[in-house]
Amino acid sequence: MHKPIHINNLSFSLPHKTCFHDFSTPIYHGNRIAIIGRNGSGKTSLLNLLNGTLQTSDGTIDCDKAIIFGYVPQVIESTDSLSGGQRFHKALTQALSLDPQVLLLDEPTNHLDQQNRKKLMRMLQSYAGTLIIVSHDTELLRHCVNTLWHIDNAQVRIFHGAYDDYIDDLHHHRASVEHTIAHLNKQKKTQHDALMKEQTRAAKRKAKGERSIHQRKWPTIVSVAKMNRAKETTGRIKSAIHDRKQALAEQLDELRLPEIILPSFSISAMDIREQVIISIHDASVGYLNQEPVLQHIYLSIHSNKRIAIEGNNGSGKSTLMKAILDNAQVIKTGHWFAPKQNDIGYLDQHYGTLCPGKTVLASIADYRPDWSHLELRRHLNDFLFRKNEEVYMAMSALSGGEKARLSLAQIAASTPKLLLLDEITNNLDLETKEHVIQVLRAYPGAILCISHDRDFLKAIQVDDFYYIADGALIQKERL
């Protein structure tokens, strides 16, 4: 047991933005909290503030000095040759050896295969202390926490309850916001029309008053008084209308809806007619002077089919993809039929198709030199790159979510017949993940996907499911 931790009016800012401000909440022993939000919103910073490795911009965290914290960061430095999953297990073991009352984990399921993810979740479910996790993993959020801290628009929104209930709440909130925005926009138009009418009436009153003075219909003193009262009335009406318009504008600014990507693809109906895209028969893959990683491979993929491959870390999933891509380091035997390299798109969690020295616009222009500047901008607009500063931004300055959207924009610009996806949802926030799902659901070609994220595989409508075990590729039940 530990005494309550009190967060009081906590704020954290970076030189270019405020991540969150005025966040207050108690943390009681046994709380199971997940911190969620967009990439760059301040989730890891909040975890580091709790851990004491980062200083607050404002506010306090009142915590008994006797409380023992265990912390596992997202990026685990290592001088040895351990895999990402092995590094995590080593760091987690070290953290648990402290017998912590509060366990802080940053994206703990990244790089873990399905088997190790299940082991981790079982351990977290049985952990008796206080748990605070930064995660985008919906399965972990669904089974291991009961409180959500959602960082959005520089605020931390607290939700007590199940993750699915929170998603339902967000959907209801979105519907309410859409209704409110429509109502406010209607009011805004009404106020604009009222202002235009008042300006017309004021101009007519002014002209009439000037004519009355000119024609000597009013005594001079009376005429000046009437003119002044008319100006004051017009000024008050205009001021009231402007105030109402300003209040409406501020309300609209506060109501932010997640944007939706509606992509268009360059592939034609003739290119996706029913045909075999990949045929692998009695094949093996491996590396020079080593035993084959996979043997007796049989795999057939038709156009517009979606195939998922799972397996433990190091089982050969990525090696199989490299073989399809004709990677020179991979030794393969047997019968292989696959599309030409120009008809295969490849996307992984590191976005290796992006050239660091180029701008967003140049990266699409390379794929479609036949497009005009207007066509390039229109295409980027579909993937939420709209402002000049976004379009001309250097690749090295992009966030993880922006890199994901740009990689998908490249694929849509020159649509391949086959798309290979290797753990692309690692490190993606929930909103960017939804963008990826929107694009992949609309993608018309065949997909071969490596992923441990079952919710993601269901969302992109995977048709068949394969598992690698003991050096063999085994077809399993439909998802």
Domain assignment present for residue 160? The answer is no
**Helices 84-96, 114-126: inter-axial angle, 10-degree rounding:** 10
Task: Give the per-residue pLDDT at 31.
Answer: 97
Task: Give the per-residue pLDDT at 237.
Answer: 65
- Do residues 390 and 337 both lie within one domain? yes
Domain assignment present for residue 84? The answer is yes
- Do residues 410 and 335 both lie within one domain? yes
- Phi first, then psi, for residue 61 (nearest 5°) are -120, 105
Domain assignment present for residue 262? The answer is no
Q: How many structural domains does the chain have?
A: 3
**Helices 360-367, 400-413: inter-axial angle, 10-degree rounding:** 20
Domain assignment present for residue 159? The answer is no
Q: Domain ends where: 231, 254, 277?
A: 254
Query: How crowded is residue 90: how many other Cβ atoms within 10 Å of its Cβ?
Result: 15
- Do residues 224 and 329 both lie within one domain? no
Task: Give the per-residue pLDDT at 263.
Answer: 73
- Do residues 62 and 124 both lie within one domain? yes
Domain assignment present for residue 261? The answer is no
C-alpha 366, offset from chain centre: 25
Domain assignment present for residue 166? The answer is no
- Do residues 249 and 301 both lie within one domain? no
Please report, for the domain that includes residue 410, its CATH number: 3.40.50.300
CA dist., res. 100 & res. 45, Å (int): 20
Which residues sit opposite 278 in a β-bridge? 301
138 close to 458: Cβ distance less than 8 angstroms: no
Q: Domain ends where: 122, 153, 184?
A: 153
- Do residues 235 and 143 both lie within one domain? no
Domain assignment present for residue 295? The answer is yes
Tens of pLDDT along 43-88?
A: 999 999 999 999 887 899 999 999 999 999 987 877 666 777 888 9
Tokens in use for 442? 């609309």
Closest-CA residue to 423 (of 346, 360, 479): 346
Task: Give the per-residue pLDDT at 336.
Answer: 95
Domain assignment present for residue 103? The answer is yes
Beta strand ranges found along 257-364 (DSSP E): 276-287, 294-302, 306-311, 330-337, 344-348
Strands of 306-311's sheet, edge to edge? 344-348, 418-422, 446-450, 306-311, 464-469, 472-476
Tens of pLDDT along 296-324?
A: 999 999 988 999 998 887 788 889 999 99
Task: Give the type of residue at 325.
Answer: L
- Do residues 396 and 295 both lie within one domain? yes
- Do residues 351 and 203 both lie within one domain? no
Residue showing tokens 């089919």: 305
pLDDT per residue, tens digit, the chain (479 aa), is 899 999 999 999 877 788 899 999 999 999 999 999 887 788 999 999 999 999 887 899 999 999 999 999 987 877 666 777 888 999 999 999 999 999 999 999 987 888 888 999 999 999 999 999 999 888 899 999 999 999 988 899 999 999 999 888 877 876 776 777 677 677 767 767 777 777 777 777 666 666 666 665 555 555 556 656 666 666 676 666 667 666 655 655 555 556 677 777 765 544 556 789 999 999 999 998 888 999 999 999 998 899 999 888 778 888 999 999 999 999 999 999 999 988 999 988 778 888 888 999 999 999 899 999 999 999 999 888 988 988 998 888 887 778 888 998 998 888 888 999 998 887 788 888 888 898 899 888 899 999 888 889 999 999 899 989 888 898 876 54
- Do residues 324 and 250 both lie within one domain? no
Strands of 294-302's sheet, edge to edge? 294-302, 276-287, 330-337
Task: Give the per-residue pLDDT at 269.
Answer: 42
Q: Domain ends where: 254, 284, 304?
A: 254
Q: How many CA atoms lie within 13 A of 164 on its CB side?
A: 4
Query: How crowded is residue 92: how many other Cβ atoms within 10 Å of its Cβ?
Result: 18
- Do residues 233 and 313 both lie within one domain? no
The domain in which residue 333 lies consists of 269-476
Helices within 127-218 (DSSP H only) = 138-144, 163-214
According to DSSP, residue 57 is labeled S
- Do residues 440 and 300 both lie within one domain? yes
- Do residues 56 and 14 both lie within one domain? yes
